[in-house]
Amino acid sequence: MGDSPLTLAEYKNHGGTEGLRAALKLAPHDVTTLVKNAGLRGRGGAGFPTGVKWSLVPMGETAPKQKYIVANGDEMEPGTFKDRLLLERDAQQFIEGMIIGGYAIQASVGYVFLRNEYFAAAENLRRNIAEWYAAGLLGDNILGSGFKFDLYLHTSAGRYICGEETALISSLEGKRAIPRAKPPFPAQSGLFGKPTVVNNIETISNVPHLLHYGADWFRSISKSKDAGTKLFGASGMVRKPGTWELPMGTPARELLEVHAGGMRDGLKLKAWLPGGASTDFLLPSHLDLPMDFDSIGKAGSRMGTGQMIVLDDQTSLLGMVRNLEKFFAQESCGWCTPCRDGLPWTVKLLDRLIAGQGRPGDLELLTQQTKLLGPGRTFCAHAPGAMEPLQSALKYFRSEFEAGIEQQKVAA
Amino acid sequence: MSKVTLHVDGRTIEVPAATNLLQALLEKGIDLPYFCWHPALGSVGACRQCAVQQLKDENDKNGRVVMACMTPCADNLHLSLDHPEAAEMRKAVVEFLMTNHPHDCPVCEEGGHCHLQDMTVMTGHNYRRYNFAKRTHRNQDLGPFIGHEMNRCISCYRCVRYYRDYAGGKDLDAFGSASNVYFGRASDGALESEFSGNLVEVCPTGVFTDKPYGESYTRKWDLQQSPSICGSCSIGCNLTVGERYGSVKRIENRYHGEINGYFICDRGRYGYQFTNDAARPRRARAKNGEVLTADAAVARAAALFKSGRVLGIGSPRASLEANHALRELVGAGNFFRGESKSCGELNTLGVEILSKGPARIASIHDAETADAVLVLGEDVLNTGARLALALRQSVRQEAFKMAAHANIPLWQDSSIRILAQDAKSPLYIATPAATGLDEIATRTFRDTPARIAALAQQIVHMLDSTAAPAAGLGEADTGLAREIAEALKQAERPLIVSGTGCGSAAVMQAAANVCTALAKAGKTPQISLVFPDSNSVGTTLMGGGTLDDLVHTVQSSKLEAVIVLENDLLRHMTRQAADNLLALVPHLTVIDCVATSATEQANLLLPAGSFAESDGTLVNNEGRAQRYFQTLVPKDCDIQESWRWIQQIARACGRDFGDDLDALTAACAAAHPKLAGIVNAAPNAKFRISGLKIPRQSHRYSGRTAMDAKADVHEPRPPQDRDTPLAFSMEGARNNLPAAEIPIFWAPRWNSPQSVTRFQQEINGPLKGGDPGVRLLAPDANARPAYHAAAMTENPGLCVTPLHHLFGSEALSARGAALQTKIPAAYVGLSPATAQKLKLSEGIKAEFEAAGVSMILPVRLKPELADSLVGLPVGLKGVPAIAPGTALKFIGIVA
């Protein structure tokens, strides 16, 4: 990637629009099958197979006429900035991917739901969309195929919960950004009640290449069972924080020690979150794990966005967990009770422990909350995500929590 | 309805398949706490309170926690409420809610009928481990009806779901996010919805409270309560009236599966205040202000009959018993319905249409489920508000159809709303002026009553080509008629709504014609007509001449006296006409609960009990006879039931009308075959449960012996009720009450209005033992009456059209302080074009003359009013009662 954003002409010189041309020669259903066969999994964090998601959309004569494809660019996961880079530097492949996705599910309209603060990305995207319209690659009868596709950019008002696909849809409809009950899934009743697919920006950006070079090629560039490449990243007290496109399955140690240049002088790795704030802590002993969905899952965490956050031995673990929980408490949409009222309580307990004024029972309370705010108990995955760093911190570093209990209270 | 089997903690139960676990368990009488679910609002899964353990099979000891309200009933589902994981979750959710909920129960109006209190106890949460600061909110002034205390909020979202999604309100919303969600208005101000009062019952705790009740507060368990029927319009919503210290303290919705369900309008909830007015007539008195003893007053009234002919004027707002007693006292030939000729004719036509068929008479519940609705002439929101709320639900039938197609269960409220978005089933509104339902209408039609009737005639023609087309309709209107006919034909449950509101027999007849045409086209039409008063249908079935006939009789024959029963003549005639009439009346006796122009001129005034101080039977707009029951016995005054005054006068005349309600109900039923069913409206005074009467006071009623101690330390003997099976007592039978005679909805562990599920056969279904009341009209579905075209005399110039106001157009409710703040000032409504023609503009005072009466009123522009109509607001102070359609002349601008 150069310093300035890629233009459409430059993009074309590098094989741009070839994927679209290939897709339009296929039946929509075959595009979906190809994506399914390629093994592309969602890059937003959950890793749901993209082709499967597309295949859930009703097709054919009986399907609703209006369908939508929505790109989730509400990248608000702490420590994650991969979609921003994609849209700031190379939005061309993303636009191409959106048209292909729209074609596959026969959606004539696409929306990009972009994080409020991504001004540069928004500017570049607007410019690029205009280029594509000017070149006749968006709008009516794209490349003479008869397929019509319009793409709109919507910049968010700025809520973490908008990254949850159904809350994103609510927000896009102009309603409160509150997640929706599933079923019905968006593929059946999504944006404005119509069948809708929501994909992450990075996921969509993979699609043109996969169409251009084929499913086998896509699987071949990975080091693991999960196909393709991935934007991995590292932040925290490393020498060179950043984001890099690497084969899926690249070992975490390579990320940290080679690409991020290792820990800064005098600091040692204490723990790391593999893919954003809503993933469980892993230890230095997990560094040789390949970064893919299954391997990280087996170790008791989630790969999430693949953007690792590194905790060194000089930074307060409790402080970090507390910052994360404060973020999650603030970003709760306020819909369901455990999340809305439980997270602020968690923060207050952590504050008290940090101040050394914890009371006997606080750890048990925190441990109980990791269950009460866990999967199945809340309306959406927000609070369960928030509990991941807390529960793993309690598991690996319980003594640091215990140290926050006021000794007088214990004696009493 | 297909059933499935659930296994719950060792119990096997059969439940309907098409429901969710929470509803199914509640229906079976199993206690499971909840907050966000509401029987009328469905499930959204927000509060996470109704956690149960779902198990794989009978051997599974682990399972997983699921939310009962979001889990469909499936056959052979194994569940546990007792499972420690589920029980821990339920307890924890209340503990989370309590992190911010204040401990102000002792000073909170909700205390004692608080759903949050009940659920907290139910979960077993009793010790709070949270020991940090609570978040606080600033409260708002939401107007005269609703108090606001946001610090108590548990963010269940019921208020906004009810107010916005269900009732269509716009000025209450959820603001903020995370643990700082605020439910209120964008800024302070009176809530705009006509149904705002229901927030009090929808809110599971004390955020939204009944403001007038709070201003003169009594704990729920200290109220003496009785089942009542709303007297504020013809719909006949069921109410519970609560009294303490001789005043009505509050009115609550009383569930009726066919009529009001869980909700009433604000006129019904707050319209009681007139009954507490200290200036109400309390003593029998003569014209010169001379106070009489009750006995002396009765003797004077009786003496009138010795010397000559006495005429009686009945009342469409008085009970059948009172009307019948007066009719018997004066003789059928001397009895007149207390309404004008034009009004009486419309009522007669309405009852005839309902009786004849072929249309089924739609209850409110039927209206909610109608899948295509045509409104002809009626401003339903202002004349029969509860019906308007039902029509709001009717347009959701399209959404339910879409949901069924998409396999989304009907209780999945938010999912259905998302799927359907703005899709609505057909609702067409043809009225002279804009209505509050226009925003949900498929299309509206604005024109004179005659043109509305013409539109309907064209619809008839489209449905039945043998019927003549309407003359003089333009292409657009013919197209609209075709569209409406098509929508009605496509519907499975079409409903025609009309009524007396626009004062046009032609419109009402046209509504009947549409029903006949639909029946001929093979449909099963339903009809709902709105009438002017709470007992219009009952008094119409009873019959009698109108006030115009009375005037004629007074002018042409010699008479001794006129007795007016609960009737303000100025509601039915102009002051000039009333004065002319009374000038010819040698002696005027008035029996009423409020002071009116008639009581001012009465030679003899007998103070009558209001709805809260009497019993009786009313017949609502569907022809359902319903009984209301006395809440309190007024002390230190002569107030008694109007019919009891008449019974006493009869006795003094040497006649026997009995001395209780049942005697009159039975006599009325015997005298009028069409009213024969009214004796079954509710069990009579002889009814007992295990030999016991039904107490009006709760088992926690306190201060009984202290209440009157300031006057007398001896505990008075409680009043005896010989009219009904209810008792002014704490003692008696509380279980298995007949549905019409439930004074208190309460069940162990259920102190809030949510206890209603314990009284229903099924949730949202009829009350146990059947919903109260008796339908008196039995239309013939096979009838095919000939199409009548009522005479349509279009006035060439300006003519009067009545404009109705929920707050102000009804006489008694309009006297209350809270309601008065909502009543508009008198005005005359003109279309902008007419105003321009007359060189008038908004706010200018103009003089008009109609029926020989001059009136000076400020102009209000009504953008959608037909140019030839002049809108006169019904019942507003300073607006004369002039018959609809009367020609009206513009006199000039008043400086």
Are the C-beta atoms of residues B119 and B36 closer than 8 Å to each other? no
Q: Which residues of A touch B45 (CB under 8 A)?
A: 181, 336, 379
Whether B710 shows a pLDDT value over 90: the answer reads no
Residues B593-612 have pLDDT tens digits of 999 989 989 999 999 999 99
Which of A165, A185, A335 is the best mutation test for B, with the most CBs of B within 10 A?
A335
Neighbours of A326 (CB within 10 A): 17
Give the E-state strand segments of B298-379 in sequence order.
310-313, 335-336, 360-361, 372-376
Inter-chain contact B415–A189, Cβ cutoff 8 Å? yes
Whether B286 shows a pLDDT value over 60: the answer reads yes
Q: Which residues of B touch A365 (CB under 8 A)?
A: 129
Inter-chain contact B177–A378, Cβ cutoff 8 Å? no
Inter-chain contact A193–B408, Cβ cutoff 8 Å? no
Which residues neighbour A175 within 8 Å (Cβ) at sequence distance 6 or greater?
none
B715 confidence band (pLDDT: 50, 70, 90):
confident
Residue-level pLDDT at B842: 96
Of A181, A342, A348, the CB nearest to B45: A181
Spacing of C-alpha A113 from chain mean position:
13
The span from the CA of B481 to the CA of B467, in Å, is 14
Residues B847-885 have pLDDT tens digits of 999 999 999 999 999 999 999 999 999 999 999 999 999
Of A329, A341, A361, the CB nearest to B99: A341
Q: DSSP label at B409?
A: -
Task: Name residue B545's beta-bridge partners.
Answer: B336
Inter-chain contact A338–B130, Cβ cutoff 8 Å? no
Q: Which residues of B touch A345 (CB under 8 A)?
A: 96, 99, 130, 132
The span from the CA of B698 to the CA of B746, in Å, is 9
Are the C-beta atoms of residues B109 and B209 closer than 8 Å to each other? yes
Which chain B residue has the Cα nearest residue A193? B419
Residues A203-245 have pLDDT tens digits of 999 999 999 999 999 999 999 999 999 999 999 999 999 999 9
Are the C-beta atoms of residues B32 and B25 closer than 8 Å to each other? yes
**Amino acid code (one letter) for B734:** R
Distance from CA of B400 to the nearest CA of A (A): 13
Q: Could you report the predicted ipTM of this complex, rounded to two decimals?
A: 0.95
Of A121, A191, A109, A136, nearest in space to A20 by CA? A136
B793 confidence band (pLDDT: 50, 70, 90):
low
Which of A173, A189, A357, A409 is the best mutation test for B, with the most CBs of B within 10 A?
A189
Distance from CA of B66 to the nearest CA of A (A): 7
The two beta strands, B887-893 and B798-803, are antiparallel
Mean of all residue pLDDT scores within chain B: 96
> Which whole-number Å values give the CA distances from B21 to A43, B2, B4, B8, B73, in the listed order?
36, 15, 11, 11, 6
Count CA atoms within 13 Å of residue B479 on its CB side.
5
Inter-chain contact B178–A329, Cβ cutoff 8 Å? yes
The span from the CA of B396 to the CA of B373, in Å, is 12
Inter-chain contact B129–A361, Cβ cutoff 8 Å? yes
Q: Which residues of A touch B99 (CB under 8 A)?
A: 341, 344-345
The span from the CA of B380 to the CA of B391, in Å, is 9
Whether A38 shows a pLDDT value over 60: the answer reads yes
Inter-chain contact A378–B48, Cβ cutoff 8 Å? yes
Inter-chain contact B48–A344, Cβ cutoff 8 Å? no
Spell out which chain A residues touch chain B, with contact meaning CB-CB distance below 8 angstroms: 159, 176-177, 180-181, 183-184, 188-189, 192-193, 329-338, 340-345, 348, 361, 365, 368, 372, 376-379
Any long-range contacts for B578-582 (C-beta under 8 Å, 24+ apart)? B580/B551, B581/B550, B581/B551, B581/B554
Which residues neighbour A62 within 8 Å (Cβ) at sequence distance 6 or greater?
none
Which residues neighbour B877 within 8 Å (Cβ) at sequence distance 6 or greater?
B826
More confident residue, B739 or B716: B739
Of A180, A331, A377, the CB nearest to B414: A180
Give the E-state strand segments of B420-560 in sequence order.
427-431, 443-446, 494-499, 526-530
Task: Name residue B855's beta-bridge partners.
Answer: B848
Inter-chain contact B46–A331, Cβ cutoff 8 Å? no
Please list, residue by residue across B247-266, b when 16 or more beta carbons sit within 10 angstroms of its beta carbon and e when fewer do. Answer: bbbbbbbbbbbbbbbbbbbb
Q: DSSP label at B387?
A: H
Inter-chain contact B129–A365, Cβ cutoff 8 Å? yes
> Which whole-number Å values give the CA distances from B714 to B696, B706, B721, in the listed order?
22, 9, 21
Q: Which residues of A touch B415 (CB under 8 A)?
A: 180-181, 183-184, 189
Are the C-beta atoms of residues B452 and B510 closer than 8 Å to each other? yes
Of A176, A181, A345, the CB nearest to B130: A345
The span from the CA of B253 to the CA of B270, in Å, is 11
Distance from CA of A330 to the nearest CA of B (A): 6
Inter-chain contact A176–B174, Cβ cutoff 8 Å? yes
Residues A268-311 have pLDDT tens digits of 999 999 999 999 999 999 999 999 999 999 999 999 999 999 99
**Amino acid code (one letter) for A385:** G
Inter-chain contact B177–A332, Cβ cutoff 8 Å? yes
Inter-chain contact B96–A335, Cβ cutoff 8 Å? no
Compute φ and ψ for A404, nearest 5 degrees.
Answer: -85, -10
The span from the CA of B157 to the CA of B405, in Å, is 28
Inter-chain contact A344–B99, Cβ cutoff 8 Å? yes
Of B591, B681, B686, nearest in space to B641 by CA? B591
Whether B633 shows a pLDDT value over 60: the answer reads yes
Residues A350-397 have pLDDT tens digits of 999 999 999 999 999 999 999 999 999 999 999 999 999 999 999 999
Q: Which residues of A touch B66 (CB under 8 A)?
A: 376
B791 confidence band (pLDDT: 50, 70, 90):
low
**Amino acid code (one letter) for A98:** M
Whether B341 shows a pLDDT value over 70: the answer reads yes
The span from the CA of A100 to the CA of B773, in Å, is 64
Range in A2-6, A274-278, B372-376, B660-664 with the lowest mean pLDDT = A2-6
The span from the CA of B108 to the CA of B105, in Å, is 5
Structure tokens at B74: 């499936």
| Angle, vertex CA B457, rays to CA B455 and CA B459, nearest 5 | 75
Inter-chain contact B418–A331, Cβ cutoff 8 Å? no
Distance from CA of B78 to the nearest CA of A (A): 18
Number of residue pairs across A and B with CB atoms under 8 Å? 108
The span from the CA of B458 to the CA of B463, in Å, is 9
E strand or H helix that includes residue B77: strand B77-80
Q: DSSP label at B190?
A: -
Residue-level pLDDT at A42: 96
The span from the CA of B85 to the CA of B99, in Å, is 21
| Angle, vertex CA B151, rays to CA B147 and CA B153, nearest 5 | 85
Distance from CA of A173 to the nearest CA of B (A): 10
E strand or H helix that includes residue B141: none
Inter-chain contact A337–B96, Cβ cutoff 8 Å? yes
Residue-level pLDDT at A411: 60
Indicate the length of chain A as a whole number: 412
Of B44, B154, B420, the CB nearest to A193: B420
Of B137, B250, B141, nearest in space to B191 by CA? B141
Spell out which chain B residues touch chain A, with contact meaning CB-CB distance below 8 angstroms: 44-49, 51, 64-66, 70, 88-89, 92-93, 96-97, 99-100, 129-130, 132, 154-155, 157, 174, 176-181, 406-408, 412, 414-415, 418-421, 423
The span from the CA of B849 to the CA of B855, in Å, is 6
Distance from CA of B77 to the nearest CA of A (A): 18
Q: Provide the percentage of residues in chain B whose pLDDT is more than 70.
A: 99
Q: Which residues of B touch A333 (CB under 8 A)?
A: 177-178
Whether B56 shows a pLDDT value over 90: the answer reads yes
Residue-level pLDDT at B795: 65
Residues B726-767 have pLDDT tens digits of 999 999 999 999 999 999 999 999 999 999 999 999 999 999
Residue-level pLDDT at B895: 81
Distance from CA of A286 to the nearest CA of B (A): 30
Inter-chain contact B47–A376, Cβ cutoff 8 Å? no
pTM for the model: 0.97
Helices (H), B331-395: 341-356, 364-368, 380-383, 385-394
Range in A312-326, B138-152, B711-725 with the lowest mean pLDDT = B711-725
Greatest CA separation for chain A: 81
Inter-chain contact B129–A159, Cβ cutoff 8 Å? no
SS3 for B805-864 is CCCCCCCCHHHCHHHHCCCCCCCEEECHHHHHHCCCCCCCEEEEEECCEEEEEEEEECCC
The span from the CA of B753 to the CA of B372, in Å, is 32
The span from the CA of B447 to the CA of B451, in Å, is 6
What is the dihedral angle through the alpha carbons of B724, B725, B730, B732, rounded to the nearest 10 degrees?
Answer: 170
Residues A334-345 have pLDDT tens digits of 999 999 999 999
Of B48, B129, B178, the CB nearest to A332: B178
B790 confidence band (pLDDT: 50, 70, 90):
low
The span from the CA of B446 to the CA of A401, in Å, is 72
The span from the CA of B231 to the CA of B618, in Å, is 9
CB burial class (10 A; 0-12, 13-18, 19+) of residue B18? middle
Whether A412 shows a pLDDT value over 60: the answer reads no
Helices (H), B132-237: 158-160, 199-202, 211-215
| Angle, vertex CA B144, rays to CA B143 and CA B145, nearest 5 | 100
Structure tokens at B140: 């708002």
SS3 for chain A is CCCCCCCHHHHHHCCCCHHHHHHHHCCHHHHHHHHHHHCCECCCCCCCEHHHHHHCCCCCCCCCCCCEEEEEECCCCCCCCHHHHHHHHCHHHHHHHHHHHHHHHCCCEEEEEECCCCHHHHHHHHHHHHHHHHCCCCECCHHHCCCCEEEEEEECCCCHHHHCHHHHHHHHCCCCCCCCCCCCCCCCCCHHHCCEEEEEHHHHHHHHHHHHHCHHHHHHCCCCCCCCEEEEEEEECECCCEEEEEECCCEHHHHHHHHCCCECCCCCEEEEEECECCCCCECHHHCCCECCHHHHHHCCCCCCCCEEEEEECCCCHHHHHHHHHHHHHHHCCCCCHHHHHHHHHHHHHHHHHHCCCECCCHHHHHHHHHHHCCCCCCCCCHHHHHHHHHHHHHHHCHHHHHCCECHHHHHC
Q: Which residues of A touch B205 (CB under 8 A)?
A: none
Distance from CA of A382 to the nearest CA of B (A): 12
Q: Which residues of A touch B180 (CB under 8 A)?
A: 334
Which residues neighbour A60 within 8 Å (Cβ) at sequence distance 6 or greater?
none
Range in A4-8, B23-27, B688-692, B724-728 with the lowest mean pLDDT = A4-8
Inter-chain contact A336–B46, Cβ cutoff 8 Å? yes
Residue-level pLDDT at A1: 45
Of A335, A344, A361, the CB nearest to B46: A335
Respond yes or no on whether the N-terminal peptide bond of residue B358 is cis (omega within 30° of 0): yes
